[in-house]
Amino acid sequence: MITIDDIRRPISADLEAFDKFVADNFNAEGEMLQEMLTYALSSRGKGIRPILTMLSALTCTAATYRPDERNCTKRTYLAALMMEMIHTASLIHDDVLDSADERRGKPSVNAKWQSNLAIILGDYILARTMSLGMASAQYDIVSYVGTAMAALCEGEVLQSQHAKSLDTTRDDYFTIIYQKTASLLGVCAALGALSMGASREDIDRMRKYGEALGIAFQIQDDILDYNRNNNTGKPANNDLREHKITLPMIEVMESKSEEEVKEMKELLKRCKDDEAALDQLHNMVIEGGGIERATEVMQAYLSRAMHLVSKYEDTPYRKALIDLCTFVAERDK
């Protein structure tokens, strides 16, 4: 079993320096805002995005393996910080949109301070992020970050549109998860390469690696949502409650008759406050083999990601990028 610590090990000195970089550069004016910011940043999660930026930076430049030293540049840290903050802000806003009370096993910002303040906190994080990028005059990085932010918003709106109309097809699903998850991870990996002065070809290849990893990451997220014993810190079956049709259900719908699909959509409509309908639909997806088939699709994306980095020199950084693929498949949180 690959753990996140295994993946972090080759860049432990960089990650330590990165934490200090965040602490030195990211604080708020005003006691209440600072309290909210500290709360939001104290449960930042696994830190997949900064890890990805740094590993990409060191893999595609075939950096000499020096685990006890910092190997990334200030530009790499800035890119990692910006992407991590965009992600943090988007989750704060997402919990407002989803009226979610929990995030990573703790009360969400909106549950603790209410939605209006949670929106302001997300905005503040975005504003500070962009102003940091502009002040450092790293305009190429800032431009990538802006594109990633726009994609997130597009994905979120599309998802909400489809949750309303209950008509998500396979194509819709892949567009949504590309925009809301994969594009961000693609930009994280691309920025790692860019921050170290890598070639256009390497930047593009790393972007594709991050995107394939991101698609797989989101599919696993959607699979975990069906698992009542997951460790995600979020209640199971959230997606069905929010009328979100994800890959496990799409796989099953594609194997059913028109009548049966209609029945599934009728159940989905009632999932918000009818536990029996929720259970029935959940069981249909499980018994219909939705999890197994979604897992196969996820594995195909991970194979693609692994193949993309296989051309680089065999360093502990490249190995960590490959291990990251295994970690995504094995994770339960």
Which positions lie near Mg ion, rule CB under 5 A? 94, 98
- Distance separating alpha carbons of residues 280 and 178, to the nearest angstrom: 29
CA dihedral 220, 61, 63, 215 (to 10 degrees): 0
Q: What is the identity of the amino acid at 316?
A: P
Query: 182: how many CB neighbours lie within 10 A of its CB?
Result: 24
Stretch that binds ligand FPP, among 68-76, 145-153, 206-214, 318-326 (CB under 6 A): 145-153
90 binds ligand FPP (CB under 6 A): yes
- Does position 154 interact with ligand FPP (CB under 6 A)? The reply is no
Residue 238 C-beta: closest distance to ligand FPP, Å: 6
Under rule CB under 6 A, residue 234 binds ligand FPP? yes
How many CB atoms are closer than 10 A to CB 114? 11
Which of residues 94 and 211 has its CB atom nearest to ligand FPP in the complex? 94
CB of 181 to Mg ion, least distance (A): 11
Q: Which is nearer to ligand FPP, 40 or 149 (CB)?
A: 149
36 contacts 109 by C-beta, under 8 angstroms:
yes
By C-beta, is 162 or 234 nearer to ligand FPP?
Answer: 234
> In 78-234, where do the E strands start and end?
102-103, 106-107
∠ CA 175-43-233, rounded to 5°:
65
CB of 141 to ligand FPP, least distance (A): 16
Q: Does 153 bind ligand FPP (CB under 6 A)?
A: yes
- Helix (H) or strand (E) run with residue 185 in it: helix 183-195
**Is there binding between residue 291 and ligand FPP (CB under 6 A)?**
no
Q: Which stretch binds ligand FPP (CB under 6 A): 64-72, 93-101, 132-140, 305-313?
A: 93-101
134 three-state secondary structure: helix
Should residue 84 be labelled a site residue for ligand FPP when binding is judged by CB under 6 A? no
For 292, residues 6+ apart whose C-beta sits below 8 A from its C-beta are none
**Site track for ligand FPP across 48-67, x = CB under 6 A:** --------------------
Q: What is the DSSP letter of 313?
A: -
Whole-number Å distance between alpha carbons of 246 and 172 = 10
Residue 249 backbone phi and psi in degrees, to 5: -75, -40
Which residue number, 181 or 220, has a Cβ lying nearer to ligand FPP? 181
**CA of residue 247 relative to chain centroid, distance:** 16
Closest CB 77 distance from ligand FPP, rounded Å: 20
Residue 238, interface with ligand FPP (CB under 6 A)? yes
Contact flag: residue 185 with ligand FPP (CB under 6 A): no
Quick one: which of 170, 204, 209, 203 has its CA closest to 303? 209
The one among 6, 98, 101, 204 contacting ligand FPP by CB under 6 A: 98
Q: Is 109 helix (H, G, I), strand (E, B) or coil?
A: helix
Q: Judged by CB under 6 A, does residue 260 bind ligand FPP?
A: no
Question: Rounded CA gap, 55 and 305, in Å?
Answer: 14
State the nearest-atom distance from the C-beta of 84 to Mg ion, in Å. Answer: 18
Number of residues that bind ligand FPP (CB under 6 A): 17
Shortest distance in whole angstroms from residue 291 CB to ligand FPP: 17
The site for ligand FPP (CB under 6 A) is made up of 86, 89-90, 93-94, 97-98, 122, 126, 149, 152-153, 156, 180-181, 234, 238
